[in-house]
Amino acid sequence: MEAASRRSPETAALIVGAGSGTRFGQAKAFYIWRGEPLIYWAARPFVRSGRVAQIVLVVREDDLTAAEELARRLGPGTMAVAGAASRSGSVRCGLSVLRPSIARVLVHDAARPNLSQELLGRILDHPGEAVVPYLELHDALHRREAGSTAAPVDRAGLVRVQTPQMFERRLIERAHAAGQDAADDAALAESLGVEIAFVRGEEENLKVTTRDDIGRLDRQWGGMLVGHGYDVHRLAEGRRLVVCGVEIPAQRGALGHSDADAAAHALMDAILGAAGLPDIGHLFPPSDPRYLDADSIVLLGEVMRRVWELGLRVSNADITVVLEQPRIGPHRDAMRQRLAGALKIDPERVGLKATTAEGLGPVGAGEAIQAWAVATLRSA
Ligand code: MG
């Protein structure tokens, strides 16, 4: 791999995302998926490969500042430029900022956020002067005219074409020199009489075109995120006992810096864990006086704000509280309501079970309250 990359000509990638996203309902490049704009996910495989010297994000004028910030986060060698009204025009904007040393150019759609290293490697390793990933057509094709099915189309020789498409720089510059517009760069290269080398593409490398494609991306990505949380607090006289945001009458309450709501804390850690965020000890350090006697449901609201910022929502949560006394049962509905309100989900999606420790250990002796929680998250 290292030897191959040393031999490879210096390569740039143009990530083209200056379209208005008519079929999608908004500009796609900055649609947030898994906490980042699609164009970030589209550019990242090129950074990760370590084989692309310059990456250019080509975006709408309005998105330029946001794209420059993304470019900084993606790392050195990444920059952003404003594109044009047409896709081909945007490619030309990208070509105009290439370093002189660049000998090959990859052109990739900002709306393809799921490019694998395997596919990128197949393209980069190919010696052709124009290399294009393709997929076979398996469905029958018909030409539909005026709403009715007319003649079947012979699919022999037809393929579906993806990006990234890779070209020798002199070739793509020549293809664009006339300022023509085309559906993709392969079409322009073909118009020069260049022989296109086809490499096998991947179904997973889908182009987000409609809202349904976001669901497809989620399913490919694995769909559901699961997190787990645990907490324990000592019990002492003279303290309030707050469980799942509801204060219940008790001889002994929970000791802690905040309201010491062990169940809410376990739930927050489950949600943060699923979202890949740091735990509540990091978010709300006990050393911070702002969290003295804090209502943990308010803190849960802050956790949810961060989760929603990542484009995620809670699907369901399930909590087990272990407490010798008093009984949780009479307060269960109020607790589920309070949690569901903060999570902005139906109370039926919040499981809450309580048990005792059967007199065993410190929990059984009434010295502590324990809680476990599991939460599942999905894209919003
Ligand atoms: Mg705690």
DSSP labels, 262-329: HHHHHHHHHHHHHHT---HHHHS-TT-GGGTT--HHHHHHHHHHHHHHTTEEEEEEEEEEE-SSS-SG
- The pLDDT value recorded for residue 311 is 77
- Antiparallel, parallel or unpaired: β 54-59 and 148-153: unpaired
For residue 309, how far is its CA from the centre of ligand 1 (angstroms)? Answer: 24
Q: Please, what is the Cα angle at 44 between 41 and 49, to 5 degrees? A: 145
Q: Please, what is the Cα angle at 111 between 5 and 145, to 5 degrees? A: 125
Answer for the pair 144, 23: CB distance below 8 angstroms, yes or no: no
For residue 261, how far is its CA from the centre of ligand 1 (angstroms)? Answer: 6
For residue 344, how far is its CA from the centre of ligand 1 (angstroms)? Answer: 22
Q: Residue 245 pLDDT > 70, yes or no?
A: yes
CB atoms within 10 A of CB 120: 23
For residue 232, how far is its CA from the centre of ligand 1 (angstroms)? Answer: 6
Phi, psi for residue 14 in degrees, rounded to 5: -100, 120
For residue 223, how far is its CA from the centre of ligand 1 (angstroms)? Answer: 29
For residue 244, how far is its CA from the centre of ligand 1 (angstroms)? Answer: 12
pTM comes to: 0.69
For residue 350, how far is its CA from the centre of ligand 1 (angstroms)? Answer: 20
For residue 335, how far is its CA from the centre of ligand 1 (angstroms)? Answer: 17
Q: Tell me the average pLDDT across 193-206.
A: 94
For residue 248, how far is its CA from the centre of ligand 1 (angstroms)? Answer: 17
- Nearest alpha-carbon partner for 129 in 200, 197, 199: 197
- First-to-last alpha carbon distance for the chain, in angstroms, is 39
Six-digit token string for 339: 């949690």
For residue 233, how far is its CA from the centre of ligand 1 (angstroms)? Answer: 6
- Nearest alpha-carbon partner for 216 in 133, 130, 112: 112
For residue 231, how far is its CA from the centre of ligand 1 (angstroms)? Answer: 5
Q: Residue 2 pLDDT > 60, yes or no?
A: no
For residue 330, how far is its CA from the centre of ligand 1 (angstroms)? Answer: 23
For 106-150, write each residue's pLDDT tens digit.
Answer: 999 999 999 999 999 999 999 999 999 999 998 888 888 776 667
For 141-196, write each residue's pLDDT tens digit.
Answer: 888 877 666 788 888 889 999 999 999 999 999 999 887 888 888 888 888 888 99
For residue 236, how far is its CA from the centre of ligand 1 (angstroms)? Answer: 15
For residue 273, how far is its CA from the centre of ligand 1 (angstroms)? Answer: 15
